[in-house]
Amino acid sequence: MGRRLVVVMLIAGLIASGVFFFARMMQQSAPPAQVATQPVQAPVAANTTNVLVAAKDLPAGTLIQPNTLVFRPWPAAGVDEASHVVEGKGTIEEFTSAVLRTGVRSGEPVVRGNMIKRGEQGFLAAVLKPGMRAVSVNVNENTGVSGFVFPGDRVDIILSHVVNMPDANGTNRPHNVSETIMQDVRVIAVDQRASDQEQAPAVARGVTVEVPPEKAERIALLQRMGELRLVLRPLAREGEGEVSSDPAAQPVAMPVVDDAQDKRTFSLDSDVSQIITPPGGDKSGATGSGSIQVVRGPTAQDVQVK
């Protein structure tokens, strides 16, 4: 009987030890996981609010794009729903193509009053680069590239006017002249449209360009001298052609035209017409002595012009 009692007590002790060990394992595994996760998430949800912040440093005059802003948590005590853009009460798309009045550091909330939307007062002034001026040019379907000029494009400006020039006899005679007055000028608005996202062609009555102050004075004077015409430039800069895998076929880099040092070129009416005498020249068929050849069917006749 004594030996049986000892065996029973040993078995009971083993069972008790196993229950105790199992209970300890359960306490060390499941409950701590719940304690570790719940206290961390609860304060975040209760004390922060997702607001619109700058995804990177944005200087004043930045045109906002979808990748420049992002929603991130911000302490709820510092959020003013009247000025900050709270997630669920505003969207990034709502401010796309707006312009910043003042710069914003990366991670800082953007304020509604600091973003000027298209059509709002001050939008065009915010788009202008420092030191530049905005001046409008009157255009029509012919002078404005048939409505295919959009904000963000770059153009050359040509002046067409009449100039009196002396001929071979010293007599002043009128000549039609076209001059390239300015090159590589940035378009910032077309009529009342200043967005570079709208691509529907429309015949404009006015195109606003960005130029230095002295060239704004010139454009104001040029519009009184004759007709201004816009010439659209390609998106690729001079020397930037199609990329080729053959190194020998790579385009030679050409210098970009500096807006401050335009290459002045011009064309006279005598350059495009064979019967107009160039200034100081002697071209047959022009006013003065000479002859022109008149062709009628198979016959040709020289006619003297006095």
Residue 203: Cβ within 10 Å count: 14
* pLDDT digits 0-9 by tens, 25-53: 777 665 444 444 444 444 445 588 999 99
* Cβ pair 101, 83 in contact under 8 A: no
Q: Is the dihedral of CA 213, 217, 222, 223 positive or negative?
A: positive
Task: Name the pTM for this structure.
Answer: 0.52
Classify 290 in phi/psi space as left (phi over 0), alpha (psi -120 to 50) or beta.
left
Helix (DSSP H) and strand (DSSP E) numbers for the chain: 4, 12
Report d(CA 300, CA 64) in Å as an integer.
68
Classify 148 in phi/psi space as left (phi over 0), alpha (psi -120 to 50) or beta.
alpha
133-138 and 206-211: which strand pairing?
A: antiparallel
Any residues with CB less than 8 A from the CB of 257 and at least 6 apart, and which? 183, 184, 238, 263
* Cβ pair 93, 53 in contact under 8 A: no
What per-residue confidence (pLDDT) applies to 65? 86
Alpha helices (runs of H) in the chain, residue ranges in sequence order: 2-47, 123-127, 213-225, 269-272
What per-residue confidence (pLDDT) applies to 193? 66
Decide: residue 239, CB within 10 A, 0-12 exposed, 13-18 middle, 19+ buried.
exposed
* Cα→Cα distances 193→98, 120, 143, 276, 288, Å: 13, 11, 18, 43, 52
Any residues with CB less than 8 A from the CB of 5 and at least 6 apart, and which? none
* pLDDT digits 0-9 by tens, 253-293: 333 334 445 566 888 888 888 888 888 765 554 444 455 55
Report d(CA 57, CA 264) in Å as an integer.
39
Phi/psi of residue 199, nearest 5 degrees: -120, 15
Report d(CA 206, CA 140) in Å as an integer.
8
- Domains in the chain, CATH or no CATH each: 48-125 (3.90.1210.10), 130-235+259-272 (no CATH)
Q: Which residues of the chain are under the pLDDT cut of 50? A: 31-44, 241-260, 285-289, 305-306
What per-residue confidence (pLDDT) applies to 177? 92
